[in-house]
Amino acid sequence: MAETLREQQLRMARFIRDPQANAPPPGIEERRLAVYRQLFFGNMKSLLSGSFPVLHATLTSDQWQALTEGFYASHRCQTPLFTEVAGELVDHLQTREDLPGWVAELAHYEWIETVLLLGENTEPAHDPGGDLLEGVPLLSSLAVPLAYVWPVSQIGPGNIPLQAPIEPTRLLARRGADHEVHFSRLAPLAHALLVSLQQQPLSGREHFAALAEHSGVAPDFVEAHGLALLVGLKSEGVVLGTAL
């Protein structure tokens, strides 16, 4: 009996996920099945619309319907938390080669704001007055350097790019003391420095040397401009200080 009940439950779940590819469970009238489908899929669709308002508004209603139906039918979420479902859609869109590239990037851009808004302010132990050149500068956990092929901050209804620009869109997303998420454009050196801080625990001087070697720019130039950048970023709370 338990196995029969489980099979009934699985058949019902498969039909609700994707009624086009799965037969309905026997013994349940079509009207009732439609109610269940609308209840489950409708809630998910509403949740995603609220999490990605710009993407939702930019796509046509048919495109949004197809996108959410595809996600609901084929993606297997790794979390039971509603607050993390948006991240699951971002992961799903990375696999959708049938969609324009800006769709996945715009979704990621919108999702980052939610991540920073909900993130806990648990910064590592650090010395706020540490030497940013000789010490190991620490990036705030509430600041994220971003780079996109598409101009995600400009995409919206009536403004859909037909091709990617030559230069990527480099951004800094950070949650400020006002508990709001702010986005700002980054110059190539600033973005490269923040990514370097994010990826490896080196002294400021070592970061600058690595950036100079990678870019082919004179080390003295990178160090002088990089140190000024670090000082400015620290004043904004993006850089915390140095590791203890």
- pTM given for the model: 0.89
The pLDDT of residue 3 is 55
Q: CA-based angle 83:84:88, to the nearest 5?
A: 145
CATH no., domain 1-99: 1.10.150
The pLDDT of residue 30 is 81
The pLDDT of residue 26 is 80
Euclidean distance between CA atoms 242 and 244, whole angstroms: 6
The pLDDT of residue 1 is 45
The backbone region for 237, taken as left when phi is positive above 0, alpha when psi lies in -120 to 50, beta otherwise, is: left
Please state which of the four CATH numbers 1.20.1250.20, 3.40.50.1980, 3.30.70.3340, 3.90.930.50 is assigned to the domain occupying 124-244: 3.90.930.50
The pLDDT of residue 208 is 96
Range(s) for CATH 1.10.150 in the chain? 1-99
Q: CA-based angle 44:48:51, to the nearest 5?
A: 145
Q: Which two tokens stand for residue 77?
A: 């979420």
Q: Give the residue ranges of the chain where pLDDT is below 50.
A: 1-2
DSSP string, 39-87: HHHHHHHHHHHHH-HHHHHHS-HHHHHHHHHHHHHH---S---GGGHHH
Range(s) for CATH 3.90.930.50 in the chain? 124-244
